[in-house]
């Protein structure tokens, strides 16, 4: 982003460019005006103050510990989180709300960790209680096709979203989204061995948006394409 000017009110606060992978944080309550003098591509995340306060409350932090305003700071973490979401922009049919929620939680955690005055606690290594883990697995298994939000899983376990996510990974070694993908693949394997349905129908029945989506995830987790796996196992 080679050249632009930025005013806050009547004060010129920036005149220059931003390198690739850099980020800026602005408050929409400020009187911000921009003059873009070159072409550029960016991803804009909108973080409502209510969401930030809810996150801070769940983490036991002060409600005033909000991110500082920054302009053009190099941040490869946010850059790669944005890249992780690009397929969701391009292929809306494959969008997984659970995955998007995980990325947004990671974004908020990172922004608070780097640009706010207090630090986000790290995982202490404590996992879910047996009944919580059992309930979470049951919910995910019962919503293979449409998925289930982290907020719903956390509520059923009586935990905050951020604590639940960390505790679930401590207990299983996987994020809720990763666990969902693995359960979908396991269910697909059962259907592939127990029926003669086309692979495209099996993929959709297990929650994958289409045959390419099913094949990509199955290959990554099973080490073979669905057609090869079915032929070898039979």
pLDDT bin (cut points 50, 70, 90) of residue 19 is confident
Q: What is the predicted pLDDT for the residue at 64?
A: 65
Q: What is the predicted pLDDT for the residue at 132?
A: 94
Q: What's the Cα-to-Cα distance from 174 to each of 123, 127, 160, 180, 205, rounded to whole Å?
A: 14, 12, 18, 9, 23
pLDDT bin (cut points 50, 70, 90) of residue 88 is confident
Q: What's the Cα-to-Cα distance from 118 to each of 9, 42, 58, 59, 166, rounded to whole Å?
A: 29, 28, 14, 11, 19
pLDDT bin (cut points 50, 70, 90) of residue 120 is very low
The whole model's pTM is what?
A: 0.55
Kind plus residue range of the DSSP H or E element containing 30: none
The DSSP line for 139-174 is HHHHTTTT---HHHHHHHTTS-HHHHHHHHHHHHSS
Per-position b or e across 47-83, b if 16+ CB within 10 A of its CB: beeeebebbbeebebeeebbbeeeebeebeebeebbe
CB 77 within 8 A of CB 110: yes
pLDDT bin (cut points 50, 70, 90) of residue 188 is very high
Geometric angle at alpha carbon 107, from 158 and 36, rounded to 5°: 145
Report the C-alpha gap between 192 and 186 in whole angstroms.
Answer: 10
Mean pLDDT of the chain: 85
CB 99 within 8 A of CB 128: no
Report the C-alpha gap between 165 and 174 in whole angstroms.
Answer: 9
Query: Of the candidates 1, 177, 39, which has an alpha carbon nearest to the alpha carbon of residue 102?
Result: 177
Average pLDDT over residues 93-112: 80
- Which residues have a Cβ under 8 Å from the Cβ of 47 and sit 6 or more positions away? 107, 108, 111
Q: What is the predicted pLDDT for the residue at 119?
A: 47
Report the C-alpha gap between 220 and 224 in whole angstroms.
Answer: 8
Among 15-29, 69-83, 105-119, where is mean pLDDT lowest?
A: 105-119
Q: What is the predicted pLDDT for the residue at 122?
A: 47
| φ, ψ at 93 (rounded to 5°) | -65, -20
Centroid of chain to Cα 216: 19
- Show the tokens assigned to 97: 């709300």
What's the pLDDT tens digit per position in 60-77?
565 567 788 888 889 999
What's the pLDDT tens digit per position in 212-228?
888 888 888 888 889 99
Among 7-11, 56-60, 151-155, where is mean pLDDT lowest?
A: 56-60
Report the C-alpha gap between 140 and 150 in whole angstroms.
Answer: 10
Q: Does residue 121 register a pLDDT over 50?
A: no
């Amino acid at each position: 982003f080679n050249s632009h000017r930025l005013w806050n009110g009547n004060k010129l606060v920036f005149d220059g460019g931003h390198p690739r992978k850099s980020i800026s944080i602005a408050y929409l309550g400020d009187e911000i005006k921009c003059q873009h003098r070159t072409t550029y591509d960016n991803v804009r995340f909108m973080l409502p103050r209510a969401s930030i306060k809810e996150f801070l409350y769940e983490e036991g932090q002060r409600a005033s510990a909000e991110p500082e305003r920054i302009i053009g700071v190099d941040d490869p973490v946010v850059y790669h989180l944005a890249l992780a979401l690009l397929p969701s922009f391009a292929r809306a049919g494959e969008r997984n709300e659970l995955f998007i929620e995980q990325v947004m939680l990671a974004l908020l955690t990172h922004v608070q960790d780097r640009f706010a005055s207090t630090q986000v606690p790290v995982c202490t290594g404590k996992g879910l209680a047996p009944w919580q883990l059992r309930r979470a697995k049951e919910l995910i298994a019962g919503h293979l096709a449409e998925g289930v939000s982290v907020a719903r899983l956390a509520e059923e376990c009586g935990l905050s979203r951020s604590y639940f996510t960390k505790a679930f990974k401590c207990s299983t070694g996987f994020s809720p989204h990763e666990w969902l993908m693995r359960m979908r693949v396991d269910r697909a394997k059962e259907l592939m061995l127990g029926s003669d349905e086309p692979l495209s129908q099996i993929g959709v029945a297990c929650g994958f948006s289409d045959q390419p989506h099913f094949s990509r995830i199955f290959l990554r987790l099973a080490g073979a394409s669905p057609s090869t796996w079915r032929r070898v196992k039979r």
